[in-house]
Amino acid sequence: MDEVDAVVERVRERVLPDNEERAELQRVAAEVIDRAETAVADLPVDAEVIQVGSTARGTWVAGDRDVDVFVAFPADLDREELEEYGLDVGHAVLPGGHEEYAEHPYVKGEVEGYDVDLVPCYDLDDATDIRSAVDRTPFHTRYLEERLDDRLADEVRVCKQFLKGIGAYGSDLRTQGFSGFLTELLVLEYGGVREFLAAAADWHPPVRLDPEDHGQAAFDDPLVVIDPTDPERNVAAVLSAGRLASLQHYAREFLDDPREALFEPREPDPLDADEVRAAISDRGTTPVAVVFDAPDVVEDQLWPQLYRSLGGVTDELDRRGFDVLRAATWAHDRAVLFAELAVAERPTVERHEGPPVHVRDHAAGFYGKYADGDAYGPFVEGDRYVVEREREFAAAAEFLRSDALFDVALGAHVESALEEGYDVLVGDDVAALADEFGAEFGEYFDPRP
Amino acid sequence: MDEVDAVVERVRERVLPDNEERAELQRVAAEVIDRAETAVADLPVDAEVIQVGSTARGTWVAGDRDVDVFVAFPADLDREELEEYGLDVGHAVLPGGHEEYAEHPYVKGEVEGYDVDLVPCYDLDDATDIRSAVDRTPFHTRYLEERLDDRLADEVRVCKQFLKGIGAYGSDLRTQGFSGFLTELLVLEYGGVREFLAAAADWHPPVRLDPEDHGQAAFDDPLVVIDPTDPERNVAAVLSAGRLASLQHYAREFLDDPREALFEPREPDPLDADEVRAAISDRGTTPVAVVFDAPDVVEDQLWPQLYRSLGGVTDELDRRGFDVLRAATWAHDRAVLFAELAVAERPTVERHEGPPVHVRDHAAGFYGKYADGDAYGPFVEGDRYVVEREREFAAAAEFLRSDALFDVALGAHVESALEEGYDVLVGDDVAALADEFGAEFGEYFDPRP
């Protein structure tokens, strides 16, 4: 056994649930299923109660306390009835639960310390007939139950722990990483965690895998793993290029220098205000922050809007000559669009190139527009007219505080939140954010792959 | 007669030498030729004395006081002897004259208030056999003497005055404009100054003219006028794209709104130090100036080197993140490389993109280089490694004061001059240059086409 295998073995021992945890989980799952079947019996339609997810497939990491139970209704049931009956069952099973909304509404609650999702879906013959994403889950569970033996299930647990350690686990739209199902398919495809990491270390994206060899469609994603139950779907559609590159980096790190530390999520020390100021001073940049109340929407709505807004704002800062060195967006009670500027101020004048002088009509229009104005010029450089005209915003903060901020591509809820009011912090003043975002500053000023 | 013709007519009256001026010039030219023929008679070889240039062709502008006389030696004479005999004749004709050097040495002096050039050349049958550029001049004079009648000669005078007025007259390497010969060919080609300007207003460079329809070679210049005495030569080779664009601009101005003012060289008011400071403040830029003793070389050597050095320095400033808004170079006793910066300071750190993570060897090399250093990162953005490393120069002035200045493309004499020592002025301190370069500042801060 070499050092890679030895580390995998030690991690396996940590992530493998012990008999007590397994028995306890089984007991709770049985209880939930029993309650659900009782509730279904009271409905005017028949429905099948099935356990899904990692606890059903034996691929959960020790300590995870999630039980996912689906209620599969007949395919000919109205969607409205499905939702109504689904919520009926959910509330019956989880009396203290609350409703959440994915594509259907469903009930989330707690049973003896376990997080339980009780989700209605349709009982279909073929995954390509699905009406919403949750209908696919039972197919995934059946597909993997048939293929993951105990050894592979344990390899999946180790792999999930690795992805958690490097911050790449989760297909939520904040993380844009690897879902549990994707992890399971990859370990299955390569036959083990070590084999998967060795392959990933050498990938040249775009990479395409098709376990059932039935995919026809083309995808524009860096990793394509055709869903074995649906040839039209890429299981890795959410995975970003950055998370994939991060996986490749850490796969190599692990193979070159195997160590358990890679399996532990990094938790950089939070910075206090003084430390934030020191970091800014060391870097010599001018940070700016747009701070507002975080919109009250689910995370999978919030984060794409924050990322989009950050892209919109930083593109516009760059376009206006305020060079963005790096940027980030964070959210707790407040949300922050944070950009570290290499150039925060510009001269009063900006250079504006006109057409080549020989393009007579166009050139005459340009010359006529500026000749009698306040601009310097028009003069000639090479074959073109050039003017130096007044710049709209000479300081980045002026732009951020102006209505022009609303002309950039912002997510809809972010835009509404900004309309309610926002603060613009500049330079050392951003240190005031350390109370709420100290951990984010810690990560920002000590970036890793 | 429309307004264009009326203005041309008024200018013609100004630029046409009166009878007294003509007679006076003729008398001086005859005197010079007579002295030269006498000196030639003392030589052991025969040689022909010929008057060339605008005064020979009757295309000089009233007030010009140049007499150009060439001594054409037999084609089989050694170059050393030609130079020796040429200087002998020159000194005999111009006792107070001094030697200058183009391709051959020649003598420049004064006779009764006229500037006289006495230049030796070879007497050849065909302009394509020439050994140096001056050998071509007699061919040009003969070609034009046969074709320019009095009316066209006067049109040439008006055209020269127009080009002087817009700052585009002169084929010296500072101006990079229109030579006298080029002006004569263009007026001849189009049949008059108005016709030439009307054509130029509509040109779409590159423009190619070939009066004798004998050119074969391709040229990469914006205006190509094949020498009627030499099919391999572009008479407009020196003309820059900027001067050509300037001509097109003012040709249109003149045709749209004919006025005599266009025929008068612009002389912007020189600025004093306070006015320079006010201009800088109005623009909000950070000017920098590299100031040194002007190299003691002829203008046609000096200016290409100054332009080259300015290009080298501004390119490097841009490359290092110090955005150059506009730049200029000036020379009197001292020479100046002047650049107006939109960004004069940068943060301590600069972003440096590495290879895509999936290019394994290259990526591992990059990661290994920076992982244990002082840089922030490497981290992953998109599919690449990125680091934020220390910038070599955080201020433009630091770069200009450092040895790194000598790594840019500088002209050889400029480089030597800088090695002797130079000053770097920053911001308001450049106003100290107003004593010597007030006129240049005046033009710089009120730029025109």
Give the pLDDT confidence of A50-93 residue by residue, as tens digits.
Answer: 999 999 999 999 999 999 999 999 999 999 999 999 999 999 99
Under an 8 A CB cutoff, do A380 and B242 touch? yes
Residue A331's pLDDT is what? 98
H or E stretch at A279: helix A273-283
Q: Is residue B131 predicted with pLDDT exceeding 90? A: no
Is domain A147-266 in CATH 1.10.1410.30, yes or no? yes
The answer to whether B71 touches B36, Cβ cutoff 8 Å, is yes
CA-nearest of A313, A344, A316 to A328 is: A313
Give the SS3 label for residue B116: strand
Residues of A (284-323) whose Cβ lies below 8 Å from B: 284-286, 321, 323
What fold, for A17-145? Beta Polymerase; domain 2 (3.30.460)
Mode of pairing for the β-strands spanning B376-381 and A334-341: unpaired
- Chain B CB contacts of A446 under 8 Å are 376
Under an 8 A CB cutoff, do A204 and B358 touch? yes
For the segment A379-402, the average pLDDT, to the nearest whole number, is: 97
Query: What is the rounded end-to-end Cα distance, in angstroms, of chain A?
Result: 29
Q: Is residue B102 predicted with pLDDT exceeding 80? A: no
The distance of B355 to chain A (nearest Cα, Å) reads: 11
The burial class, CB within 10 Å (0-12 / 13-18 / 19+), for A295 is buried
Residues of A (12-71) whose Cβ lies below 8 Å from B: none
CA pair distance B264, A13, nearest whole angstrom: 92
Residues shown for chain B: 449
The answer to whether A149 touches A163, Cβ cutoff 8 Å, is no
Under an 8 A CB cutoff, do A376 and B252 touch? no
CA-nearest of A162, A184, A196, A187 to A12 is: A162
Residue B108's pLDDT is what? 95
Q: Where along chain B do its domains lie?
A: 17-143, 148-266, 273-345+394-444, 349-390
Closest CB to B241: pick one of A349, A383, A394.
A383
Q: Global pTM? A: 0.89
For residue B190, the Cα-to-chain-centroid distance in whole angstroms is 25
Under an 8 A CB cutoff, do B351 and A445 touch? no
CA pair distance B108, B84, nearest whole angstrom: 15
CATH superfamily, domain A273-345+394-444, is Poly(A) polymerase predicted RNA binding domain (3.30.70.590)
CB-based contact (8 Å) between B147 and chain A?
Answer: no
Q: Per-residue confidence at A128, pLDDT binned at 50, 70, 90?
A: confident
CA pair distance B408, B315, nearest whole angstrom: 9
- CA distances from residue B214 to B141, B209, B232, B239, B293 in whole angstroms, order as listed: 19, 10, 9, 21, 47
For the segment A166-179, the average pLDDT, to the nearest whole number, is: 96
Closest CB to B248: pick one of A286, A358, A448.
A358
CA-nearest of A197, A210, A207 to A161 is: A197
Would you state the structure tokens that stand for residue A266, as one six-digit string? 């990094």
ipTM: 0.92
- Chain A CB contacts of B242 under 8 Å are 380-383
Q: Per-residue confidence at A129, pLDDT binned at 50, 70, 90?
A: confident
Q: Per-residue confidence at A103, pLDDT binned at 50, 70, 90?
A: confident
Range list of H helices, B148-179:
150-165
- CATH of B17-143 among 3.40.50.10470, 2.30.110.10, 3.30.460.10, 3.40.50.300: 3.30.460.10
For residue A436, the Cα-to-chain-centroid distance in whole angstroms is 21
Residue B358: DSSP 8-state: T
CA-nearest of A71, A69, A66, A93 to A83 is: A71
Which of A14-18, A398-402, B97-101 has the least mean pLDDT? B97-101
Closest CB to B351: pick one of A201, A284, A325.
A325
The distance of B265 to chain A (nearest Cα, Å) reads: 16
Residue B130's pLDDT is what? 87
For B47-95, the pLDDT digits (tens) are 999 999 999 999 999 999 999 999 999 999 999 999 999 999 999 999 9
The burial class, CB within 10 Å (0-12 / 13-18 / 19+), for A120 is buried
Residues shown for chain A: 449
Q: Is residue B248 predicted with pLDDT exceeding 90? A: yes
CA-nearest of B194, B384, B418, B400 to B293 is: B418
Best residue in A326, A350, A370, A393 to probe B by mutation, most B CBs within 10 Å?
Answer: A326
B333: which residues sit within 8 A by CB, 6+ positions away? B293, B294, B436
CATH architecture of B148-266: Orthogonal Bundle (1.10)
The distance of B252 to chain A (nearest Cα, Å) reads: 9
